[in-house]
Amino acid sequence: MHDAFFREVYRTLDRIPHGRVVTYGQIALALGRPRGARTVGWAMAHCPAQLPWHRVVNAKGKISPRDHDPEGLRQRARLEEEGVAFCGDTIDLAVYGWDGI
């Protein structure tokens, strides 16, 4: 049931530029499911490793825990390598958010 939607989520990930982030809700809205942020989260839980999964954050600009990165340390490190700055545990979406989705 979700397979087609998950594939669309993964295609969307490939478009997010280096050094930018999007939210689960942005992806859901872009794919025509304005209330589908949680489903995007489920897709992200099964995301192929070669995709830029680390560029997706929650609506507050924070990292959401994942099974393979429960504290978000790996995701944070990858984002910082791309030049994304954190203020505490938050990313300024006005600066690093990408609206081209």
Tens of pLDDT, residue by residue over 39-48, are 999 999 889 9
The parent domain of residue 51 ranges over 3-96
12 contacts 31 by C-beta, under 8 angstroms: yes
**Cα 57 to Cα 55: distance, rounded to the nearest angstrom:** 7
pTM over 0.85: yes
**Cα 44 to Cα 40: distance, rounded to the nearest angstrom:** 6
Tens of pLDDT, residue by residue over 27-36, are 999 999 999 9
Virtual CA dihedral for 41, 37, 75, 14, nearest 10 degrees?
90
Q: CATH code at 38?
A: 1.10.10.10
CB atoms < 10 A from the CB of 74, how many?
Answer: 15
Domain count of the chain? 1
Task: Name the DSSP letter for residue 101.
Answer: -
**Residue 25 located in a structural domain:** yes
**Residue 101 located in a structural domain:** no
CB atoms < 10 A from the CB of 65, how many?
Answer: 10
